[in-house]
Structure 1
Amino acid sequence: MVHEVRITLRLPADLHAWLTTQARTARRSLNSEILHRLEAEPGTPVADHEST
């Protein structure tokens, strides 16, 4: 079983809104969207609705 840790994260309102929009577009939860972006290979662009 994977050990998970819960954290509280403060984000600027505009970043939160942008991430929420990206998550909805990709049909992911906000948490999944953040993990998706954090787990991407460094230097690899992450596709979002603005680049398509």
Structure 2
Amino acid sequence: MDETTRITLRLPGDLHEWLAAEAKSARRSLNSEIVYRLELEHATAEKEDGSP
């Protein structure tokens, strides 16, 4: 990832709490947890689509 973009993200409270707990258990920041999960989903979608 060479370039980053800052965004404002609104989450339902229960989703935020769950993500924060998952991040803590993985010893990641909330931001890192969100990026990690999005990257996993992105890689999975690329494999399913056969995209490079």
TM-score grouping bracket, smaller chain normalisation: 0.7 to 0.9
Q: Which runs of 4+ in 1 moved over 6 A?
A: none
Q: Which runs of 5+ in 2 are unaligned?
A: 46-52
Distance in 1, matches of 2:25 and 2:11, equals: 20
TM-score calculated relative to the size of structure 2: 0.75
TM-score calculated relative to the size of structure 1: 0.75
Aligned position for 2:8: 8
Give the Å deviation of 1:2: 1.3
- Whether 1:26 and 2:8 are equivalent positions in the alignment is no
Give the Å deviation of 1:3: 1.2
The CA RMSD measured in Å over matched residues stands at 1.7
Question: Which has a greater percent of helix?
Answer: 2
The farther-off stretch of 22-31 and 33-42 is 33-42
- What are the superposed Cα offsets for residues 1-52 of structure 1, whole Å, 9 maximum, x if unpaired? 8111000000000000000000000000000000110011337xxxxxxxxx
- Give the structure with higher Rg (CA): 2
Q: Which runs of 5+ in 1 are unaligned?
A: 44-52
Kindly tell me the number of residue pairs found equivalent between the two proteins.
43
